[in-house]
Chains A and B, each alone.
Chain A
Amino acid sequence: MLHPGTQNRPVAPLGDWNISPEPSRDIVLQTIGLTKAYGKRIAVNGLSLEVARGEVFGFLGPNGAGKTTTIRMLLNLIKPTFGEVRLFGQRLDQHSRNLLPRVGALIEQPAFQSYLSGRDNLIVVGGYTGGVDPLRVDEILDMVGLRERGVDRYSTYSLGMKQRLGVGAALLTDPELIILDEPGNGLDPAGIVEMRELIRKLAQMNKTIFVSSHILAEIRQFCTRIGIVRAGQIIATGGVDELLRSSSRWEVEVANPQYVCQLLAKVPVLHSVSIEQGLVVINAPSIKGHDLIYYLAQNNIWPESVRRSEEDLEHIFLRLTDKEAGL
Chain B
Amino acid sequence: MSQASWSSPTTPAPLPSWPETQRRSANIWQLTRNELFKLWKRRLVWGLLGLDLFFVLAAWLVLVFYAIKTRDGFDPGHLLGGATGLMNAVGQPMTLGRRGGEFIAVALGGLAFGGEFSSGAIRLVLSRGVNRASYLIAKYLALAIACLALVLAGLLMSMILTNFLIIIHQPAPTLLNLDGNTIVTLLGICLGTMENFLLCLLLGSTLSIITRSAAFGIAAGFGYLIGEDIAAQILPVVGKSIHLPLGYQINQLLFTTNINAFYANTLPHALARGLDNLDGVIACTPMTSGCVPVGAGQALLVVLAWALVLGGISTYMFIKRDVLQ
Residues of chain B having any CB pair with chain A under 8 Å: 1, 3-8, 12-13, 15-18, 22-27, 30-31, 33-34, 37-38, 41-44, 116, 119-121, 123-131, 322-325
18 contacts between A and B (CB under 8 A): A75-B126, A76-B126, A78-B324, A79-B322, A97-B129, A97-B130, A100-B128, A101-B129, A103-B127, A113-B116, A120-B37, A120-B41, A125-B128, A130-B22, A131-B22, A131-B30, A145-B4, A169-B124
Of all chain A residues, the one with the shortest Cβ separation from B135 is A128
**B24–A116 CB distance below 8 A:** no
Give the CA-CA distance A310 to B120 in the complex, in Å. Answer: 42
Q: Measured between C-beta atoms, what is the minimum distance from A180 to chain B in Å?
A: 12
Q: Contacts A77-B126, A116-B41 known; list 17 others, CB within 8 Å.
A: A96-B129, A97-B129, A98-B23, A100-B25, A101-B22, A101-B25, A103-B129, A111-B121, A113-B116, A116-B42, A124-B34, A130-B22, A145-B4, A145-B5, A156-B1, A164-B6, A173-B23
Q: Measured between C-beta atoms, what is the minimum distance from B179 to chain A in Å?
A: 44
Q: Measured between C-beta atoms, what is the minimum distance from B10 to chain A in Å?
A: 13
Q: Measured between C-beta atoms, what is the minimum distance from B142 to chain A in Å?
A: 12
Give the chain A neighbours of B131 by CB distance below 8 A: 96-97
Answer whether residue A201 sits at the interface, using C-beta atoms and an 8 A cutoff.
yes
**A145–B24 CB distance below 8 A:** no
Give the chain A neighbours of B13 by CB distance below 8 A: 139, 142-143
Give the chain A neighbours of B23 by CB distance below 8 A: 98, 101-102, 129, 173
User: 1/0 contact trace for A117-142 toward B, CB 8 Å?
Assistant: 00010011101111100001001101
**B24–A129 CB distance below 8 A:** yes
Q: Measured between C-beta atoms, what is the minimum distance from A99 to chain B in Å?
A: 7
**B127–A100 CB distance below 8 A:** yes
Give the CA-CA distance A128 to B5 in the complex, in Å. Answer: 28
| Residues A129 and B26 in contact in the complex (CB < 8 Å), given A111-B121, A114-B119, A173-B18 | yes
A residues 8-30 near B (Cβ < 8 Å) are none
**B121–A77 CB distance below 8 A:** no
Give the CA-CA distance A111 to B117 in the complex, in Å. Answer: 10
Of all chain A residues, the one with the shortest Cβ separation from B116 is A113
Give the chain A neighbours of B119 by CB distance below 8 A: 111-114
**B129–A124 CB distance below 8 A:** no
Q: Measured between C-beta atoms, what is the minimum distance from B236 to chain A in Å?
A: 43
Give the chain A neighbours of B33 by CB distance below 8 A: 127
Choose, from A188-196, A209-217, A265-273, the stretch at the interface. Answer: A188-196
User: 1/0 contact trace for A165-206 toward B, CB 8 Å?
Assistant: 000010111100000000000001011001101100110010
Interface centre among B6, B12, B16, B31 (most CB of A within 10 A): B6
| Residues A111 and B120 in contact in the complex (CB < 8 Å), given A97-B131, A129-B25, A145-B6 | yes
